[in-house]
Chain A
Amino acid sequence: MASLSSNLLLVAFILYLVAIPFFGGAIRQKKGLEEIKSYDKWAKIGITITIIGFISQLGFFITRWAVAGHAPLSNLFEYTTFFGMCFVLAFIIIYFIYRTSILGLFVLPIVLLIIAYASMFPREISPLIPALQSYWLQIHVSTVALGEAILAISFGAALIYLVKAIDHTKRSKSTFWLEVIMYSIVSVMGFVAVTSTFAITDYKATYNYINKSDKEDTVEYRMPALIGPHEWEVVDKGTFEPLVEMPAIINAKKLNTVVWSLMVGLGLYIVIRLALRKRIGAALQPLTKNIKLDLVDEISYRSVLIGFPVFTLGGLVFAMIWAQIAWTRFWGWDPKEVWALITWLFYAAFLHLRLAKGWHGEKSAWLAVIGFAIIMFNLIAVNLVIAGLHSYAG
């Protein structure tokens, strides 16, 4: 059953991958009566494959639930794959409202990256720690994931908007920041590539070091240590010697992973740039030719509008109820709580700026991108780097 479960996830992953070219095919068609039909056909195949992929991933979720005996939402792998699943669900819903194939072309690759990213973390089914044993786990976590996923759709739409609207013929602040977004996405690929490479070659290196509380400790690196821990010392002879040493308060192992991902990401990015001979944004622009700017803007706004109440309910209301039950305080300034509040305030500001100040179009698209960055920061950095009640195994 457990292997069935992980196979279902793999099947879903492959189906999402297969669906992308179909959405690509759907937007490449030119206008004309004959082609409009085939346009529909391509998109229909694409969305059908996506839905089958979604059902398969739902199967993964349910079988894993059956095996574990609790909702698989308790560690970073489980939460992140669930987030990916909600992302697809949100895409399917938005697709049926607006029928835009191009959204699939931008959203599905991001979903693939999210699932691949999740798979880099421990995947074992583990029992639930007592603090999480409550039906509020399912309610709170699933609503938050759904809300964040719907909000993330607005990032996909905003990306399309920016790729289309920005003038790619000359270098500007906008093209620079768009490339920063592209580079960040490529760096996630870098992370996946570097983690799986060293996992396949089974790289291990152990170091003795002095930890935060001035005690001797050992740490096992799974990739060559460019960044060494505080006062490191190699255990086995012949191990790669770190180039830089970090003070004890910084988690050198995680920083090392980040540095590796950014470096490999940079390498990949340069290769892509050399292959394309122009900015990635400029290369993507022809794909957005047939979409209307006001439609993508509308999708971006609509998904924030749908996602915001869901996020409020899951991330603040249910979260507070559960916190009151579990810890007898509904608010405790835990890092995750603080970042959830920041996310919430940010999207509230997004909506207010749009309605009161008329921030439509490009401004609103940039805000949606920043909002997604905050969500990702909350998902990744707050879990892994900052210690708090919400940092589960990673």
Chain B
Amino acid sequence: MLTPDKPDGEISFVAIQQTVEPFGDNEYQMKFAGIETKDVSGLTVRKDLTLWIFALGGFIFMVGVAQGSYWNHRRIWIRRNENEIWVAAHTNKNWYGLKKEISFVLEGSGIGEPKDQLQEEK
């Protein structure tokens, strides 16, 4: 404990509730007066209340993408128009398989197989 009067310093051990001055001849005294506490911790606690929205969104997306990817529909229309027979088909998956099926159905029936105009360009 250095003061302007005593440049060499005086010895004093200050602790909570007790102050020890080993030589007992100190001119100045230092004491523990009290503390004010503030509760602080280094940990951060986070709580994300929107997680369920993400989970729901992910779930809906998965249902949608699975439906879009794995469910298929296909239909073939056959219509008589005077002396002609019109054949048309639509599918969302496996066009190649649909073409094979049409040719299987029409085989030997005398009806010409519909031509894929996209393939013919090449």
Contact = CB atoms under 8 A, between A and B. Distances in A.
Do these two chains really belong together in a complex? yes
B66 interface: yes
A270 interface: no
A302 interface: yes
A320 B58 contact: yes
Interface string B40-70: 0000001000010010001001100110011
Nearest to B64: A309
A324 B51 contact: yes
A146 to B, nearest CB: 15
B54 A312 contact: no
A160 B61 CA distance: 32
Given A302-B93, A317-B58, A330-B54, A360 B118 contact: yes
A233 interface: no
A16 B66 CA distance: 32
Contacts of A320: 54, 58
B65 A298 contact: no
Contacts of A294: 95-96, 99, 116, 119
**Which interface class (under 10, 10 to 19, 20 to 34, 35 or more) fits B?**
20 to 34
Contact of A317 (B51, B62, B69, B97): B62
B122 interface: yes
A26 to B, nearest CB: 19
Contact of B62 (A165, A302, A312, A360): A312
Nearest to A98: B96
B119 A305 contact: no
B95 A312 contact: no
B46 to A, nearest CB: 7
A344 to B, nearest CB: 11
Nearest to B122: A293
Interface in B7-22: none
A308 interface: yes
Nearest to A312: B65
A302 B122 CA distance: 22
B109 interface: no
Interface in A322-374: 324, 328, 330, 360
A309 B66 contact: yes
B61 to A, nearest CB: 7
Contacts of B69: 305-306, 308-309
Interface string A295-328: 1001000100110110011001100100010001
Contacts of A302: 93-94
Nearest to A299: B96
Given A312-B62, A324-B51, A293 B119 contact: yes
A329 to B, nearest CB: 9
Interface in B76-98: 93-97
A73 B31 CA distance: 64
A313 B62 contact: yes
A295 B100 CA distance: 11
Nearest to A165: B122
B46 A312 contact: no
A368 B34 CA distance: 73
Which of B93, B96, B118 counts the most A-chain CB atoms under 10 A from its CB?
A: B96
A305 B70 CA distance: 8
B32 to A, nearest CB: 41
A309 B58 CA distance: 11
Contacts of B51: 324, 330
Contacts of B65: 308-309, 312
Contacts of A308: 65, 69
A295 B122 CA distance: 15
Interface in A15-66: none
A324 B58 CA distance: 14
A305 B93 CA distance: 10
Given A294-B119, A298-B94, 9 more contacts: A298-B96, A306-B69, A309-B65, A309-B69, A312-B62, A317-B62, A320-B58, A324-B51, A360-B118
Interface of B: 46, 51, 54, 58, 61-62, 65-66, 69-70, 93-97, 99, 116, 118-119, 122
11 contacts: A165-B122, A294-B116, A298-B97, A312-B62, A312-B65, A313-B62, A317-B58, A317-B62, A328-B46, A330-B51, A330-B54
6 closest A-B pairs by CB: A298-B96, A305-B69, A309-B65, A317-B58, A295-B96, A309-B66
